[in-house]
Structure 1
């Protein structure tokens, strides 16, 4: 192998050492390898390590964004300044912060692999030149609006009414509900098991993949209302062991895009404000919180990976619960103080004693 174009003998010898070191460790350290060549090779290596939907997203970022921008640079030439300039350019042009962040995260993942295999000495994308955008605070429907929506669906499209009844009643993700198979539902035991999620690769090919996290692969209890909706759905569907509970008129699983379109059609017909199907999952959590269900139980029901995930997502909904907690503490302290002053005959609703910290005499 011959390579030229180095500034001096020292640069040539350094490149030769890197190349030979790479050969010993099992990777290509060609000093003239471009970012495009490296990213193409990295993407191919990730094909069987990622979920099909995740791989499709990575492929879109690599082929549609990263290679056109950075592809001609030599891999060792790619610097943090290049990445920062691209970030500012995209944001100033009005590009969505979420899209830019995910593109940068993909590049960082690819360069991180190069560092771990000793192909590069450092990751030029770290630290990222922008913070991770905060998710918009979700404002789900109220329970009354959910009832209005479900009633309208039952009148207009009973099959979709049962699908949305299951999502609202259990907090399933859309893909989990669409990927639910008959063998995973036990109506008599009032339980179902989440084993798959249905996704569309490139919005076209339907694939069954593993649930989002390890804890997502779990059992979910069924209320009488949800069990009835599942039974109706299974009565309509093709009765095969691995058949999907929710199917279209041809016995095939429902396409996520078709479900999304139908949801918004029904929502508009019912005169309800805009929410997403995923917001029905948040609606389930909101109703449970309003019913004083503990955060730990809600986290278990929604199958979040950690309790902190649940707390972070629904922190804005826990104000009343938190206030109830501190008010309970205050009431208990007042009662003990009243009994200390008036004896055990002090009524439970005794007025609190003046607090010297806030009295004028103090």
Structure 2
């Protein structure tokens, strides 16, 4: 009765038998509908690999900041990557926030224990010359579906999952546009899932330049020639049996073909960063680049590519200086005219 009255007073209903491991699995299962399959699998792997061995046997009510801080110190001292440790404790903090919101805990013991997020590594982007050389090499030595896939990726900035999930029903060649409706994910490069795009802004129309249009036309001809009835349906880029391409296989092919030209090693997502960097270098306004890449807001584009705006910043302050010089010269001319008038 005392515990019940205390819970009513504080608004927290403490379960004195619930252990951290059980709570984490319950929380993860409740999160499943809101997470992409590969994200959910990543969360589960982190719980099983790190959080349950460290805290799973403890009562949820007994977990304290000192326990979490000590684990962080041991992991870093053992050489674990700061990014891995940051993600693990950030996930624990998120789960314990849920415990606070559902009145299982009075406070979140991980609230101040998340180590600083490491600075993101500088992204590798190809120059226009390198990108053009890669595309020409593909066309001359392969001329296959990946040749056309890489052309469309570099020509639109589409994400890996979006290009692998693209259906012919969403390609409108007459209008020179395609619609991003699906994204493909593979859990541990195993089971493939088709789901909704990353954000609401991601589900949008994408314009097609002549090069991307030509690549899609070639891919259409390639696919129709492979079917006796000449049909054009299903996935745009697929295996011969029309099943989805495996992301890891596409990445392996990218690396193989990149190595053949001795180009800087990049990943599939860098094929999205490269067109962004080329557009910015060409002087395209950042707001237009953001819209083209279908970012949720302009701040994301600035965070990702702000370091590429160095020349734009030089141009901006130069324009400011020129404007001030012109205004100052005009004032000087007016002042000189006033002196002559008074002298007369």
Same fold (TM over 0.5): yes
Q: Which residue of 1 aligns with 2:221?
A: 235
8 Å contact 2:220–2:232 — kept in the other structure?
A: no
- Offset, 1:240: 6.4
Relative contact order, CA 8 A, sep 6+: which one is greater?
2
Aligned counterparts of 2:47 and 2:213: Cα–Cα separation in 1: 44
Pick closer, same or farther for the CA change 1:339–1:28 going to 2, 3 Å: closer
* CA displacement, residues 305-357 of structure 1 (integer Å, 9 cap, x when unaligned): 110110111111001011112212222333444456579xxxxxxxxxxxxxx
Aligned counterparts of 1:206 and 1:20: Cα–Cα separation in 2: 47
Pick closer, same or farther for the CA change 1:144–1:123 going to 2, 3 Å: same
Q: Which residue of 2 aligns with 1:135?
A: 120
Aligned counterparts of 1:336 and 1:21: Cα–Cα separation in 2: 69
Aligned counterparts of 1:244 and 1:160: Cα–Cα separation in 2: 13
- Offset, 1:107: 1.0
Correspondences of 1:244-283 after superposition (within 5 Å): 244-283=235-274
Aligned counterparts of 1:51 and 1:18: Cα–Cα separation in 2: 39
- Offset, 1:257: 0.8
1:217 aligns with 2:203: yes
- Offset, 1:18: 6.5
Aligned counterparts of 1:240 and 1:41: Cα–Cα separation in 2: 47
Aligned counterparts of 2:181 and 2:133: Cα–Cα separation in 1: 31
What SS does the aligned partner of 2:283 have? coil
- What TM-score, normalized to structure 1? 0.85
Q: Which residue of 2 aligns with 1:334?
A: 325
Q: Which residue of 1 aligns with 2:309?
A: 318
- Offset, 1:225: 0.6
- Offset, 1:30: 2.8
What SS does the aligned partner of 2:139 have? helix
Aligned counterparts of 1:13 and 1:265: Cα–Cα separation in 2: 68
Q: Which residue of 2 aligns with 1:161?
A: 147
Aligned counterparts of 1:316 and 1:292: Cα–Cα separation in 2: 14
* CA displacement, residues 92-145 of structure 1 (integer Å, 9 cap, x when unaligned): 211112111111121112111111110111111112331122211213111111
Decide which structure has greater helix share. Answer: 2
Aligned counterparts of 1:321 and 1:56: Cα–Cα separation in 2: 41
8 Å contact 2:223–2:232 — kept in the other structure?
A: no
* CA displacement, residues 181-230 of structure 1 (integer Å, 9 cap, x when unaligned): 11111011011111111110232000011111111111111101111112
* CA displacement, residues 277-320 of structure 1 (integer Å, 9 cap, x when unaligned): 21121111111111110000000000111101101111110010
Q: Which residue of 1 aligns with 2:57?
A: 72
Q: Which residue of 2 aligns with 1:190?
A: 176
- Offset, 1:156: 2.5
Segment drifting more, 113-122 vs 247-256 = 247-256
Pick closer, same or farther for the CA change 1:170–1:81 going to 2, 3 Å: same
8 Å contact 1:237–1:244 — kept in the other structure?
A: no
**Structure 1 stretches lacking a partner, 5+ long:** 1-11, 344-362
- Offset, 1:178: 0.6
1:121 aligns with 2:106: yes
Pick closer, same or farther for the CA change 1:242–1:44 going to 2, 3 Å: farther
Aligned counterparts of 1:42 and 1:336: Cα–Cα separation in 2: 63
- What TM-score, normalized to structure 2? 0.89
8 Å contact 1:191–1:220 — kept in the other structure?
A: yes
8 Å contact 1:19–1:30 — kept in the other structure?
A: no
8 Å contact 1:166–1:226 — kept in the other structure?
A: yes
Within the candidate set 88, 94, 98, 1:103 is matched to 88
